[in-house]
């Protein structure tokens, strides 16, 4: 059986906690130390690490990886955990494992018998809320809504709009937890009316849960070189400028109710993959997307109120551009989102000075064929047996759109 030891640091909230998970020939033991209080984490974190290592009878060189609470959470606390993890990992030449702090709360509150969807709403102060959703899948937690920042007044509308995509409607049980439910009592009633089981007690991430999630991530190959680690602040800016405040702005910019186009990055892949798996019979893997982004392929996502609604991925070639993938979340289809992504693609093609945009589509996918034809694409050939399917290989139509270059 595997023998390994992980250290975990959690300083994103009011409690500074450190844990060691030691697995030796299948036997597992966790050691945890914590100090409560909103200040002094920098003074305590290394002393706590020394204490748990001593309890586990380990020297730092025995560690296999270091997990840390990546956020969202306290700006100073996130920098502390990340910085300490990086420093120790660099000295020991071991990987770091960033762990979603809101996912730690979901796992901690759900316990060993997690069922359904868990919505975490954590107080971000200034009448704002960090929000994310998770599901337990055979002992592993899956993020179905990446963390976003919302105005408190927008939470109920956002949940009503997004819950279907999380599998949090109908017969599927779902639970709302987090400190925002105590900080903003109106949320409890609003979410109960939407069908949630609400648990309003205050809770924070803890190193004991974090180290177990960190172990799962590390075993799944998600450890990083220490130099690549970074906190997940979620907030795009820490505060408004003095001029912005003088103009009546306060707090921090939250998620917008309008649909916004952004370039795709690696940070979007959890949500992009969730959509890809819903809309494709043979979906791309995370590695496929990662390789495409590293190769410099152009990609875009559409977000509304923090959530990804759709995406497109494009590859430039010498003679034309190739639309590799386009996907719209099923519950928001037929709202013009696909057209908006195609507009981004054609604008890019013109900017690059390429004459045309091409793609493949399953011969049986009549709605998609009609969609592309309505946007000026025409059929230019067939790729025999191009797509795998449940009944064998399926042909693909090659469709092309002439695109004039910008002046």
Residue 360 known to be catalytic: yes
Tell me: cis bond preceding 329? Omega within 30 of 0 counts.
no
The values of phi and psi at residue 376, to 5°, are: 95, 0
Separation of CA 385 from chain center: 35
Question: CA 173 to CA 164: how far, in whole Å?
Answer: 12
With H, G, I as helix, E, B as strand and everything else as coil, classify residue 81: helix
Query: What residues are paired with 327 via a beta bridge?
Result: 311
DSSP symbol at 199: E
Query: Between 155-162 and 186-193, two packed helices, what is the crossing angle to 10 degrees?
Result: 20
State the CB neighbour count (10 A cutoff) for residue 356.
Answer: 16
CA distances (Å), origin 17, targets 50, 64, 143, 311 = 12, 19, 23, 38
Question: CA 208 to CA 17: how far, in whole Å?
Answer: 8
State the CB neighbour count (10 A cutoff) for residue 355.
Answer: 14
Number of helical H runs and strand E runs in the chain: 12, 17
Residue 373 known to be catalytic: no
Q: Which among 360, 386, 387, 394 is annotated as catalytic? A: 360
Q: Which residue has the tokens 């450890």?
A: 223
Separation of CA 3 from chain center: 30
The values of phi and psi at residue 38, to 5°, are: -75, -15
With H, G, I as helix, E, B as strand and everything else as coil, classify residue 128: strand
Q: Which among 208, 372, 387, 394 is annotated as catalytic? A: 372
DSSP symbol at 167: T
**CB 122, CB 130: distance < 8 Å:** yes
Query: What residues are paired with 33 via a beta bridge?
Result: 18
Question: CA 316 to CA 207: how far, in whole Å?
Answer: 45
Query: Between 41-55 and 75-92, two packed helices, what is the crossing angle to 10 degrees?
Result: 40
User: What are the residue numbers of the active site?
Assistant: 360, 372
């Amino acid at each position: 059986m595997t023998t390994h030891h992980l250290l975990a640091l959690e300083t994103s909230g009011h409690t500074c906690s450190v844990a060691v998970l030691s697995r030796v020939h299948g036997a597992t033991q966790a050691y945890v130390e914590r100090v409560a209080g909103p200040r002094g984490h920098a003074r305590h974190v290394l002393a706590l690490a020394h204490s748990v290592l001593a309890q586990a009878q380990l020297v730092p060189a025995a560690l296999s990886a270091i997990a840390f609470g990546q956020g969202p959470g306290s700006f100073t606390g996130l920098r502390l955990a990340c910085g300490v993890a990086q420093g120790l990992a660099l000295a020991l030449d071991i990987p770091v494992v960033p762990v979603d702090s809101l996912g730690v709360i979901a796992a901690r509150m759900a316990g060993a018998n997690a069922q359904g969807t868990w919505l975490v709403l954590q107080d971000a102060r200034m009448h704002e809320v960090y929000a994310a959703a998770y599901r337990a899948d055979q002992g592993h937690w899956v993020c179905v809504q990446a963390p976003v920042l919302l105005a408190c007044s927008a939470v109920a509308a956002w949940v009503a709009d997004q819950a279907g995509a999380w599998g949090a409607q109908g017969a599927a049980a779902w639970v709302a937890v987090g400190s925002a439910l105590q900080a903003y009592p109106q949320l409890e009633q609003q979410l109960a009316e939407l069908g949630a089981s609400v648990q309003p007690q205050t809770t924070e991430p803890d190193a004991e849960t974090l180290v177990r999630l960190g172990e799962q991530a590390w075993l799944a190959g998600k450890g990083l070189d220490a130099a690549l680690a970074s906190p997940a602040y979620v907030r795009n800016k820490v505060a408004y400028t003095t001029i912005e405040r003088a103009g009546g702005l306060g707090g921090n910019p939250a998620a917008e109710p309008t649909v916004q186009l952004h370039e795709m990055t690696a940070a979007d892949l959890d949500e992009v993959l969730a959509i890809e798996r819903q809309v494709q019979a043979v979906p791309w893997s995370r590695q496929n997307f990662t390789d495409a982004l590293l190769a410099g392929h152009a990609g875009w996502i559409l977000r509304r109120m923090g959530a990804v609604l759709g995406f497109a991925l494009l590859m430039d070639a010498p003679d034309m551009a190739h639309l590799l993938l386009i996907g719209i979340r099923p519950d928001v289809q037929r709202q013009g989102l696909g057209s908006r992504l195609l507009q981004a693609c054609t604008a890019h093609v013109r900017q690059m000075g390429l004459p045309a945009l091409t793609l493949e589509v399953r011969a049986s996918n009549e709605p998609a064929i009609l969609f592309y034809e309505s946007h000026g694409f025409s059929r230019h050939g067939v790729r025999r047996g191009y797509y795998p399917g449940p009944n064998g290989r399926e042909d693909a139509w090659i469709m092309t759109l002439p695109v004039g270059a910008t002046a």
